[in-house]
Amino acid sequence: MAELEGLGGGALVTDPRGVLRQGRAFLDFFWDIAKPEQEVRLAATENLLRHLREGKKDDELKYTLKRLVEGLGATREAARPGFSLALAQVLQTFEEIPICSVLEQIKEKHNLEKVKKKLVRNAAFGNFFGVMALFQSGRLVKDQQALLGSIQLLQQLANHQAHLRDLPRKTLIDIVSEVQPQHEILFGILQSDLASAFTSPENLHLLLVGIQKFPSVLKPKKLKKLFGSPTVVNEENIPRLVELLQSAAKSEKKDKKLPSVVFDLLQVSLKENAFELFWEEGVENGLLKEKSGPLSYMCYRLLGSALPLLSLDQLQMVLKGKVMQRYGEHVVTTQLPDRFKFAPEMEGYIEEFLSSCDDSERQLAVMIGFSTLTNQGNPVFSSSSRVVRHLQPVVLQKYVDWLKDMFLRPNFDCCLDFSSNRQKQNQENLALNFVLVSVHSRFCFFHAFFEAKKKTSQINEANVLPAEPLDEQAHLVAENYFFGLLQTLNTMTKHIHGVTADGKLWIFLLVEYANKLLSSEHVKAVKPFTKEQRDAWERTLQSVKKLQKENKSDSAKVVAFQQLLLLMAIHVFKVRPLNAVVLPLPDIVCSCADNTEPGWVEVMVEILLSLLAQPSLLIRRISKSVFVRICPNLTKRGLQLILDVSEALVGHCTICLSSDESDEELDDEAMMALDKNISALFAEQQKRVQAKKDEKDRIRKEKILRRDFKIKVLDLIEAFLTKQSENPLVFDIIEPLLRVIEQCMSTDSDKQEVDFLKKTANIFRNSLCRMKQYCKRVDALQEDLHAFVERLVKKACKHTDSSVALYYFSASLYLLKVLKGNTSDKSSTPTPLPEKQNNSIPTGCLDMERVTAVYQQALTQFLTKRNSALTSSMFHDLFTRFPVSVADCVVCCLLALKSSCNSWGSRERNLPILLWAFKTALGFAHLLELSVLLVCFRSPPLPPSPPTPPKKPFQVICLE
The tens digit of pLDDT for each residue in 598-641 reads: 577 888 888 888 888 777 776 777 788 788 878 888 888 888 88
Cα separation, 103 vs 115, whole angstroms: 17
* % of the chain residues with pLDDT over 90: 17
Cα separation, 792 vs 559, whole angstroms: 40
Contacts of 31 (CB under 8 A, 6+ apart): none
Between 899 and 264, name the one with better pLDDT: 264
Q: Which of 495-504, 757-766, 779-788, 934-943 has the lowest mean pLDDT?
A: 934-943
- 443: Cα within 13 Å, side-chain hemisphere: 11
**pLDDT range class, residue 270, cuts 50, 70, 90:** very high
**pLDDT range class, residue 932, cuts 50, 70, 90:** very low
| Strand-strand pairing, 373-375 and 416-418 | parallel
Q: Is the pLDDT of residue 303 over 80?
A: yes
Asked if 332 and 379 count as a contact pair (C-beta separation under 8 A), the reply is no
Cα separation, 552 vs 546, whole angstroms: 12
Cα separation, 676 vs 678, whole angstroms: 5
Q: Which of 64-73, 839-848, 869-878 has the lowest mean pLDDT?
A: 839-848
pLDDT, residue 791, reads: 93
pLDDT, residue 300, reads: 93
pLDDT per position as a tens digit, 112-128: 888 888 888 888 888 89
- 246: Cα within 13 Å, side-chain hemisphere: 17
Q: Which of 487-501, 662-676, 695-709, 939-953 has the lowest mean pLDDT?
A: 939-953
Cα separation, 674 vs 719, whole angstroms: 64
Give the distance, in angstroms, between the CA of residue 623 and the centroid of all CA atoms in the same chain: 33
- 76: Cα within 13 Å, side-chain hemisphere: 11
Q: Is the pLDDT of residue 825 over 60?
A: no
pLDDT, residue 823, reads: 53
Burial class for 9, CB neighbours closer than 10 Å (0-12, 13-18, 19+): middle
Q: Report residue 513: phi and psi, to 5°.
A: -65, -40
Q: Which of 139-143, 591-595, 751-755, 901-905 has the lowest mean pLDDT?
A: 901-905
pLDDT, residue 632, reads: 84
**pLDDT range class, residue 658, cuts 50, 70, 90:** very low
**pLDDT range class, residue 148, cuts 50, 70, 90:** confident
**pLDDT range class, residue 833, cuts 50, 70, 90:** very low
pLDDT, residue 943, reads: 44
pLDDT, residue 832, reads: 43
Q: Is the pLDDT of residue 653 over 70?
A: no
The SS3 call for residue 452 is: strand
pLDDT per position as a tens digit, 326-342: 998 888 887 666 667 88
Between 598 and 175, name the one with better pLDDT: 175
**pLDDT range class, residue 896, cuts 50, 70, 90:** low
pLDDT, residue 959, reads: 30
Q: Mean pLDDT, the chain, as a whole number? A: 78
From 718, 720, 712, 757, select the one nearest 739 (Cα to Cα).
Answer: 757
**pLDDT range class, residue 393, cuts 50, 70, 90:** very high
Asked if 141 and 180 count as a contact pair (C-beta separation under 8 A), the reply is yes
**pLDDT range class, residue 356, cuts 50, 70, 90:** very high
**pLDDT range class, residue 807, cuts 50, 70, 90:** very high
C-alpha triplet 802, 805, 806: angle, nearest 5°: 85
Q: Is the pLDDT of residue 71 over 80?
A: yes
Q: Which of 11-20, 78-87, 130-139, 179-188 has the lowest mean pLDDT?
A: 11-20
Domain positions in the chain = 22-179, 449-649, 689-820
Mean pLDDT, residues 208-226 taken together: 84
pLDDT, residue 671, reads: 46
Mean pLDDT, residues 644-666 taken together: 50
* % of the chain residues with pLDDT over 70: 75
Q: Is the pLDDT of residue 374 over 70?
A: yes
Q: Report residue 299: phi and psi, to 5°.
A: -65, -40
pLDDT, residue 424, reads: 67
pLDDT, residue 315, reads: 94
pLDDT, residue 597, reads: 55
pLDDT, residue 927, reads: 45
The SS3 call for residue 137 is: coil
**pLDDT range class, residue 577, cuts 50, 70, 90:** low
pLDDT, residue 916, reads: 56
Mean pLDDT, residues 511-517 taken together: 89
pLDDT, residue 496, reads: 46
pLDDT, residue 543, reads: 83
